[in-house]
Structure 1
Amino acid sequence: MNSAQQTDDLHLFFDHMLLPAGFARGVRLTIRDGLIAAVESDAAPRPGDERHGCGVPGMPNLHSHAFQRGMAGLAERRGPSGDSFWTWREVMYRFLGRMTPDDLRAVAALAYMEMLEGGFTRVGEFHYLHHDIGGAAFADPAEMSRAIVAAADESGIALTLLPVLYSYAGFGAQAPQPAQMRFVMDLDRYARLLDGADAAARGLPDAIVGIAPHSLRAVSPDQLAALAGIGAGRPVHIHIAEQVKEVADCLDWSGQRPVEWLLGHAAVDKRWCLVHATHMTPDESEALAKSGAIAGLCPITEANLGDGLFPAETFLAAGGRFGVGSDSNVLIDVSEELRLLEYGQRLLHRGRNMLARGEGRSTGADIYAAAVDGGAAALGVTGGLTVGAPADIVGLDLSHPSLAGKAGDALLDAYVFAAGRSAIDSVWRRGERLVERGRHRQRARIIERYAATLDRLTA
């Protein structure tokens, strides 16, 4: 290494840092070209090092619909009867009806900025808003995907883009509804969409493009089988078993429950992420765990929509892996996703520390590490702060009252269950400090454009 390369290196020193083996003290990172080049523990800071209190790996956000950030708060009025996911969906259809590519970029940029401020450093964008207003196809099938890529570039967040195949309105290849026409495409156009998404994402560092059959109700069995060839080697994400009605409709169509049907008809493996998987039998939970697929849990959205609670006890006992996602983006906050995940299990089982891995284990540390590992796997990357990995780091402010006097795993317990996102001081993406004192460096400009966009969309 020559002296010019040495000069370009960035050195960050943390009093406490969560490494793959656990918390370490006195950690000095050498960052070169956005990647971690060296990790020293029990080290002393050197002249020129940036000094910080506590560093943890950035959290992968394995499931996002960025455009839905713009409708946060618009679906919280009670209807005449039986509000549910299905009535919420009608509000969503109306909201997206006027959205242009520029609008999508403005809304997605805000969502991605808030993700960085909230502790997420990579997003899995489950993107199904493909066509123009009214459902007419763009000349470029990836027109809206390019808006997503531009928003990721503007905010600085890492991107795993998951273009969605959405063809039908219900099980058994039911004809799509008029409100769904901005989503709908066939396999040939979907293959062109993937090519366009690959080209668009090529300009982002370490971007990945996966595939996403929307759900068993929105693709046919033949399409699902064909995707195995179209998407060979890519991450595969699918919504499944989110709603009781969905389970009942799948039983009526096939005689099997959604997870049961999928595991019996597709080669589900570690490349797959089954989003929600809320309503599973114990046998389904064990089979999903043994497949190696990741369960994509979105506790804030699942609570907001009244979905239900994931059967974590059986799934984790069978060796299952999970990650978390912000889904509808009604509230974007890593700590709240993890806290609500644990609290949901406490309410369900009327116990405490349900997701800790054993006696004496830290609940906050265990669920944080598990979500980093599972979320990264679902998005096609390796999680954690190791040599060769991107320097995607969340810095916690040790002067925060809830972190006072804490060290090691207790820092994550305090962050998840007490301090929340107010403890986040800095966020680095590939060694670049995008968030300082809890605020993204482009915050004012992104919010200004978002507000103007929302004024027009909701007028």
Structure 2
Amino acid sequence: MAAGLFFKQALTNKGWLYDISVSISEDGHILAIDQDTNPNCYPVIEKPIVPGMPNLHSHSFQYAMAGLSEVRRNPVDSFWSWREMMYYFALNVSPSELQAITAKLYMELLKGGYTEVVEFHYLHNDMDGSYYAQTEELSAAIITASDQTGLSLTHLPVFYAHANFGGVAPQDAQRRFINSRDQYLKLIEILKSNQNQASYNLGLAPHSLRAVTEDEMAWLLDLRNDLLPDCPVHIHVAEQTKEVDDSIAYNGKRSVTALMDQAPVDSAWCLIHSTHLDDDEVSAIATSGATVGLCPLTESNLGDGIFRAIDFLNAGGHFGIGSDSNICTQATQELRTLEYSQRLIHRQRNILCSDEMPNVGSNLWQRAAIGGARATGRNIGQIAVGARADFVEMKFERNGIMAAVSPQAVLDFHIFSGQKADIGDVYVAGKKVITSGKHPLEEAINTAYVSAIQRLAHKL
């Protein structure tokens, strides 16, 4: 781990700064930031540096589904028909295959500019729905992949008990997801006892109001107070209009309104998607301090809809981005899709920027990184004293294709040029985990992934 680095230009919590020495502690946090001439002779990074991006929502096993769900099997395909394919795929993934898939994904996420991932993990049971002898079998596969790749992990075991509002019995296709209260408590206790803060952060995740009753939500919050006080809490909400309609049919309330009435939602919460909101719900989320977890490419792929970003930000709301179904591992492409969705719905250009930061790319990256950090409960997502030393080097060709681009516009280029973002070195907690776009274990990780996919292909 570097004792310090010297950045020629970096996007900090004070905006773009030039010629800065960044001192790093032994545990990988930023001790000091000084504009100087590099008196400590730290290694010099010539290309622009941006904060590592937290990925606030991932289902790692879905990475291996790419291409399997892009065939129409229904007169009107939707999220709900896609979900049937996802269930079928999930029923066939073994622990070793999950570890290989997750390691490959996490390596690619690092190369895409992410330095933290929040794994919304609901694959708990054996293929027949029975509990593993080792309760944390599938969580262990996720944690091992994180350790192997160097991508920092916030692990969220999901409590999932029902098929719809009112405690409807789960479907057989959901059997790998379902936990009893006792089994879930056991899982959390084991993961907490094994937890090393340098290795993974632990939080809770009621899957959705469809999958968790009011009584179960209250029980989960009591469990949190007893075992993991102040930990992150994430939940799917208002992703689809059908969910909102089902909520109204069940209790007369829209999804987010129902959630706010059931739980003390605050800044430790992350509401995933929140696609379909009325005015009161936009205001309620912003006022609560909760972060909205946007997954623009998955939301586009599934036909979810478009988030009310302008109204939410004008109300003082916070957002971050996630890769969700992992059809894309590039943070820049998630941000591009978010901005373009707003341009299409508002029929304007350069929307998600500010007077203080008029460059859309810089504004998007910084706001998403800070919002994503809130959703992890960790001091990450910005280059600031006290924050973890997570850095991403953006390639910048002064005499090549980017000759007309200033350093302040480097993120504009990488997000909106239409080309794949060219990322060089990536640091997590001051340790270089990607060098010139390559991972040190890349060959072994790729070999294990191909083997896992070949085994899965025979089952499907």
Normalised by the size of structure 2, how large is the TM-score?
A: 0.94
The one-letter code matched in structure 2 to 1:255 is G
2: CA distance, partners of 1:141 / 1:272: 26
**Structure 1: any 5+ residue segments left out of the alignment?**
1-7
More displaced stretch, 21-30 vs 161-170: 21-30
Q: Deviations over 1:177-218 (max 9, x none)?
A: 01101110122211111112223432x615210000000000
The one-letter code matched in structure 1 to 2:439 is H
2: CA distance, partners of 1:53 / 1:106: 33
**Structure 2: any 5+ residue segments left out of the alignment?**
none
More displaced stretch, 422-431 vs 448-457: 422-431
The CA deviation at 1:308 is: 0.5
1: CA distance, partners of 2:239 / 2:95: 29
The CA deviation at 1:97 is: 1.2
Partner residue of 2:343?
346
The CA deviation at 1:48 is: 5.5
Q: Does 1:330 align with 2:299?
A: no
Q: 1:107 to 1:419 in 2, by over 3 A?
A: same
The CA deviation at 1:147 is: 0.8
1: CA distance, partners of 2:374 / 2:251: 31
Partner residue of 1:67?
61
Counterpart secondary structure, 1:224: helix
Partner residue of 1:27?
20
Partner residue of 2:95?
101
Q: Does 1:449 align with 2:451?
A: no
Partner residue of 1:316?
313
Partner residue of 1:5?
none
2: CA distance, partners of 1:196 / 1:379: 20
The one-letter code matched in structure 1 to 2:46 is H
2: CA distance, partners of 1:420 / 1:108: 26
Figure out how many residues of one structure are paired with residues of the other and give that number. 451
Asked if 2 retains the 8 angstrom alpha-carbon contact of 1:38 and 1:387, the reply is: yes
1: CA distance, partners of 2:291 / 2:298: 18
Partner residue of 1:130?
124
Partner residue of 1:207?
200
Q: Deviations over 1:276-313 (max 9, x none)?
A: 00000121111111110000000010001110000111
Asked if 2 retains the 8 angstrom alpha-carbon contact of 1:24 and 1:42, the reply is: no
Partner residue of 1:250?
247
Q: Does 1:287 align with 2:281?
A: no
Counterpart secondary structure, 1:329: coil
More displaced stretch, 344-353 vs 136-145: 136-145
Counterpart secondary structure, 1:234: coil
The CA deviation at 1:133 is: 1.1
2: CA distance, partners of 1:418 / 1:174: 48
Aligned mate of 1:41, from 35, 39, 43: 35
Counterpart secondary structure, 2:446: helix
Q: 1:9 to 1:61 in 2, by over 3 A?
A: closer
Counterpart secondary structure, 1:444: helix
The CA deviation at 1:360 is: 7.1
Q: 1:121 to 1:265 in 2, by over 3 A?
A: same
Q: Deviations over 1:84-117 (max 9, x none)?
A: 1111111111111121111111011011101000
Q: Does 1:13 align with 2:6?
A: yes
Q: Deviations over 1:17-56 (max 9, x none)?
A: 1110101001222223222222222434654624331111
Q: 1:122 to 1:446 in 2, by over 3 A?
A: same
Partner residue of 1:228?
221
| Paired-residue identity, % | 44
Q: 1:431 to 1:307 in 2, by over 3 A?
A: same
